Amino acid sequence: MQTLPPLRALQVFEAVGRCGGVTEAARRLGISAGAVSQQMKLLEDALGLRLMQKDGKRLRLTAAGARYHAGCALAFESLRVAHAEIERSRNVRNLSVSAMPSLMSKWLATRVTAWQQHHPDLSIYLDGTRTEPSPDGYEIDFRIGYGDRVADVSNAVELFRDSVVPVCSPHLLREDAPLETPADILAYPLIAVDWLPKFASPPSWRDWFHANGVEETDNRRVNDSRQVHSLSGVAIQAAIDGHGFVLAQSSMICDDLAAGRLVMPFALGLALPWPYFLTWRPHTFDKSHCRSFHRWLLTQAREQQRLNDRLLRVIGETSGQADS
């Protein structure tokens, strides 16, 4: 079995390539430029090829060195990530929460600061991802998911149920295109959300118009969406920026409606088929701050459900899986 070059030499080489030169790499590593050059020579001797070449007064990677550095950089980044994960799991004053990206950015992240103010010595790690945390990965205390799995998970509780509703920037509205009926939205650009292939997409514009009795003849521009986004949060931001109407989850636009960044001409929501739900690891509640977060999050979810019920008249249900 062929042995690897010395790890220290690889570490120095990775730093040289990342920093673009010997001097900056030496500064980052806290060693002398001479020590960097010595490790580089050691690595080149071990490999039997040149990794660096002079370019004027500077040293640059050779073509072979650049290819080799790409692999080394990935390896060291994996090591850095693994070390960070271990440090998070060892720190009992950490709280790790995973959720889908848009739900994280448009709902949880805007609220969790208020809870953290009561726990100033606590570090909170918010992981916005569509991928469910691996049981073999670093420890996530809580995961906010969506779907019908809540009944199949032992440590789970329903949070709230959501609906999509058409919203836009107040600056988008025109005097020559008043909004008196749902069909009048067709005079404006439509922003769509498509979660495929990871998930089945949320209720579409065609679904919403159909639920509101807009005839197919009036529905001719429904598929002419100017923008299609894979993340709900990005689509909502496009609407805030004035690019068109978007069908947005009501939980994700409450703050924007209150601040006047969005307006909702018709409070007619089309229900998502499944709830958002919270899961946790078997030993999560061994930590007192996790018990506190759990109570706080359930209170936030109940308030969100009451707001959803007050904000909208839900006009129907659809089916599918969500990215959120």
Where residue 79 sits, what CATH number does that domain have? Answer: 1.10.10.10
**Together in a domain, 170 and 281:** yes
Report pLDDT for 321.
42
Give the integer Cα–Cα distance in Å for 39 and 44.
9
Burial of residue 121, with CB atoms counted within 10 A of its CB: 0-12 exposed, 13-18 middle, 19 or more buried: exposed
Question: Are residues 143 and 76 part of one domain?
Answer: no
Residue 239 domain-assigned (yes or no): yes
8 A C-beta contact, residue 125 and residue 88: yes
For the whole model, what pTM was predicted?
0.66
How is residue 53 annotated by DSSP? E
Averages of pLDDT over runs of 10 residues in the chain (324 residues) are 80 88 87 90 90 78 89 88 68 82 94 92 88 66 82 81 94 90 93 73 86 70 70 94 95 94 94 89 88 96 91 57 47
Give the model's pLDDT for residue 152: 64
- Residue 139 confidence (pLDDT): 73
Residues 56 and 193 in one domain: no
- What pLDDT was estimated at residue 322? 46
**What DSSP character marks residue 267?**
-
Q: How many domains does the chain divide into? A: 2
* Residue 145 to residue 276: CA distance in whole angstroms: 6
Instruction: With H, G, I as helix, E, B as strand and everything else as coil, classify residue 54.
Output: strand
CB–CB of 163/308 below 8 Å? yes
pLDDT for the residue 318: 41
Closest alpha carbon to 10 in 65, 62, 56? 65
**Angle, to 10 degrees, between the axis of helix 63-90 and the axis of helix 7-19?**
110
Place of tokens 């078997």: 282
Q: Are residues 33 and 44 in the same domain?
A: yes
For 48, the token pair is 């039997």
Tell whether 86 and 97 lie within a shared domain: no
Domain enclosing residue 39, as ranges? 7-90
Task: Give the Cβ contact number of residue 237 at 10 Å.
Answer: 19
Task: Give SS3 for 164.
Answer: strand
Domain identity same for 84 and 98: no
DSSP string, 73-141: HHHHHHHHHHHHHHHHHH-TTEEEEEE-HHHIIIIIHHHHHHHHTT-TT-EEEEEE-SSPPPTTSS--S
E-state strands within the chain: 52-55, 58-61, 94-99, 123-128, 142-146, 156-167, 190-193, 227-229, 245-249, 268-280, 313-317
Contact 119, 92 (CB under 8 A): no
Hey, what are 128's tokens? 């916005």
Whether residue 221 sits in one domain with residue 271: yes
Of the candidates 90, 120, 147, which is a domain's last residue?
90
- Write down the H helix ranges in 215-287: 232-240, 250-259
Place of tokens 């490999």: 47
- The domain spanning residue 320 has which CATH number? 3.40.190.290
Sign for the CA dihedral angle at 189, 195, 201, 202 comes to negative
Write down the pLDDT at residue 24: 86
| Contact (Cβ atoms closer than 8 angstroms) between residue 7 and residue 42 | no
